[in-house]
Structure 1
């Protein structure tokens, strides 16, 4: 029942600005730790080994911290878990893109630039909406279902270990000259920890949308994605609202010709499609909450 209460608390309160404007968010602290390790150890030779040892140290430290926090009892566990779940903030950030698009394309681009790393200046309305929906699907897995899954499996230690791995991957897990070697362990660990949650997220999206009969097609679409995990929730979301996702885009000024996910889906998109994706997020969250309650009662 601890997980259920944490999910409800997160959904109700999200990330109160009055609190996190005064205190650093735990995710920010994790980011600072990864950034410090990157500056300190990502030098010279044997960078893959250094990155692997760094990740082992971060995992050990966060796991131990989770054990210490758990010793303070269920109230602390609920509060910490609620802080590290992101359903409310995810919905708010994605909804801001829809609101921006309704004001105008520049406002939509500005809002979506807050949640995606791709180039946004040349985006049309469809590209802005598509980027927001892809972010919604992927972050439903990374920010909600995966943390909840690892909390259910291993309590706060599991949740904190997942969060540090996911944070490290988002900061150093790129195939760039600086991070390809040092970030290798972070990227591989994040892939491993998201293996089950990403597929579970696809099921949670598919089930309330009546798509369980299309799981084979969702799996086929997921394999087209450049990520071994992100394709699953995106493929399920694309079919849930009848649209095509992924496809060509640009990063750092360089066009990338990615294949379409659910290529037969509708491609011209608008703010109302983002609204539909948000409804799907809440439907998936509700199923996850129900499953959590069932597990708590067994």
Structure 2
């Protein structure tokens, strides 16, 4: 919908955007609705279970699981910023989103994605501290340091999000108002602006490059030290145990960075709507669902803790009966 300006706050004649989504076929839309509804419910259930298990079991009150708790919370935020509106639009005839709601969604997408990147770097450093210097690990990663690292991740994510979303408020949108995507990600949003967006695009590319370089370097340096330390362990069992604590984290890092970097750093010559949407689904919808599954399947302590909680629940129910 295009109308009169809403004022200086948004400086736009467009009052709402149309999210074209994944398909215009009603039957396919219904199928996609159920597929993404199941994915979202698994995401909610999986991450909530991880958080509850970590909170309930005292054996998991360690820095590693403190960070995993917050990673699960970030994944809940990330998925919830995108999927609910996506599900509504798959059923709606008019797939609209107001300008303010669109900008808000963009803000939370950036906040969740960047916070997840920093959280994964923090988790890599935690594994480095645990394996490289286990005798001083408790002192190095004390409660105060852990809280500061989590707080720093959210602060950096907030700054990154503000840097990219605040300048968008100064752009003019006077039509067309159709976004060739299922969410208000910034690249397709910028293509609709009536005003010059070169500064916005340069800011986006620069901030992504800085974010990627900082976090990838932190992860690489941590794992170079981890691998060199593991290789010095004499027993095969010790090496396997040390590496098993890192394998889940490595898989999660790989899932997030490969598709996210491809999406935002790929040349414009290989850009396509379908390719962009597939990449976006991978890192913003599938990854938050897969993270708790990966950590549950590859982490014995989480599975044991879950088993203990289920046994206690079953015992409590039998006593009540």
What TM-score, normalized to structure 2?
0.32
What TM-score, normalized to structure 1?
0.34
Which structure's relative contact order is higher, taking Cα pairs within 8 Å and 6+ residues apart?
A: 2
- In proportion to residue count, which structure has more helix? 2
